Structure 1
Amino acid sequence: MPNLYFYPGANNPELYELQNSMIDPDGKVEELIESYIPLDGKILVDIGAGSGYHAHRFADRCKMVYAIEPLSGMLRQMFNRQYNDFKPNLSVINGFAEDIPLRNNIADVVHARLAYFFGPSMKYTEGCEEGIEEVKRILKTGGYFFNVQNNYSNGKYAEFLKLSYGRELDGIQKTIEDFFEGQGFKHHLIETKWRGKSREEIKKVLFLEFPYEIIDQIMDSFEGVEFSYYFSVFVYRKEGE
């Protein structure tokens, strides 16, 4: 049974677009990817591509981008993005991580960002071993998989999660890191930010992520128009068969 999560941003494209623009505004994740493999001329598969925000940007560099997404609300946003700014080298595909409709050894790079289903089996998610095997299948020898996750131990965003969900998050970061280490991934901790143009803008976007009753408490916990945020990026390289 594929993991499928109906994220509120699927039904609120304006806020979801705003949220994507706020997270990692300085492109630290892209810097890490480029330190492993330059994207110019490469074939990239974006799994759990959402609205296509990142896939569309990758298409400016890559030879071809395949954006994989199962959720109808997100697919509509991707098709609208293509309609408004068509990228001929971007293919939108309705599909699941556990059953990627692409041939073997097609991708130089596989990217998944904040795709909750790529992680260990926990309270609300199943394990993602089938998805990882699919990524290995579609990767070329020497290709890379960049699995970009929230970090639950560092930065203000992690504090907001703890405030919202308390002890349910105890030990979750170590569980995730141990899982991916066991799967042959290397872990990078990336320090970045959420940054908006105004506090009102940030507050609106936080409603996509956190319970209504604690939003004011979160806003009172930081000043200005940005707060610290960390990614855990798990990197896998496909070695020779």
Structure 2
Amino acid sequence: MPLIAQGARPSPNIWNHPDRYELENRAADPDRVIEAAMHRRRPWAGARVLDIGCGTGFHLPRFAALAAHVVGVEPHGRLVEYARRRCARLPTVEVRQGVAQALPLPDASVDVVHARWAYFFGPGCEPGLAEIRRVVRRGGAAFIIDNDATRSSFGRWFRQAFPSYDPDRVERFWARQGYARDSLDIRWRFERREDFEAVVRIEFPPAVAERILVEHDGLEVDYAVNLWWRLF
């Protein structure tokens, strides 16, 4: 297995700091607001679920609790191995190395697609969306979770870190692709200050990260996300 699948887009947070990103996964959305919103749109009990950019496989066991079969696709070989170890005792879960724009699955083979903060950030991700259309069965759904940079403390930090990001352009893009949006309010909740500081430092450039740590002295952060979704 190659270290990086051909055509992958680098993900500097989880690729370079998987253990710190694990802390972020544990802290993000402890109330499972995102999962509940997805489930209202298209339940996955008995379904075949695909997690694109599954990373260390954090979400795979959660899907496996209800789904008939779960496939995680991840371009980074070491993360593939991590996810496989995590799910080794789950017979309905498999993890494959691959990229969003060339999914290693046959046509019309999945019912629900999940991509959370992975590859999909508006213009430029059309090849991945074409692959979703190829692999999703009739009656299926795709869910893309992305940051809402227009509101929340996290959104304000995101705008400071990435001032060229244009939320209006991204919204127009998803509308053209036939996706609707649910605006969701979640939160980060950390158990230790050192965990919060470690995650902030992998998510933001150094100068922005240090300003955040000076201004925010708690263990929770209000966080807004967009759930982009489409039924097929």
Query: What is the TM-score when the length of structure 2 is the normalising length?
Result: 0.92
Q: Which amino acid aligns with 1:88?
A: P
Q: Describe how 1:1-241 pairs up with structure 2 within 5 A.
A: 2-83=7-88, 86-115=89-118, 117-121=119-123, 127-165=124-162, 167-169=163-165, 172-238=166-232
Please report how far the alpha carbon of residue 97 of structure 1 lies from its aligned counterpart in structure 2 after TM superposition: 1.1
Q: CA deviation at 1:3?
A: 4.3
Unaligned runs of 5+ in 1: 122-126
Q: Which residue identity is paired with 2:222?
A: S
Aligned residues: 227
For 1:124, the equivalent position in structure 2 comes to none
C-alpha distance in 1 between matches for 2:179 and 2:16 = 33
Unaligned runs of 5+ residues in structure 2 are 1-5
Residues 163-213 of structure 1 show CA distances to partners (whole Å, capped at 9, x for unaligned) of: 323x323xx111111001001000111101011012222111111101223
Deviations 1:42-75 (A, max 9, x none): 1101111111101222111111001011112321
Q: Is the 1:13–1:77 Cα contact (8 Å) retained in structure 2?
A: no
What is the one-letter code of the residue matched to 1:236? R
Show the counterpart of 2:3. none
List 4+ stretches of structure 1 deviating above 6 A: none
Deviation at 1:76, TM superposition (A): 2.6
C-alpha deviation, 1:33, in angstroms: 1.0
Q: Is the 1:11–1:73 Cα contact (8 Å) retained in structure 2?
A: no
Provide closer, same or farther for how the CA distance between residues 37 and 51 of structure 1 changes in structure 2, counting only shifts above 3 A.
same
Check conservation: 1:193, 1:228, Cα contact below 8 A. yes
**Cα contact 2:8–2:75 (8 A) shared by 1:** no
Tell me, yes or no, if the aligned pair for 2:84 and 2:94 is still in contact at 8 Å.
Answer: no
Provide Cα deviations, 1:10-30, integer angstroms capped at 9, x if missing partner: 243321111101111110110
* TM-score normalised by structure 1 residue count: 0.88
Distance of 1:8 and 1:147 partners within structure 2 = 19
CA distance in 2, matches of 1:76, 1:150: 27
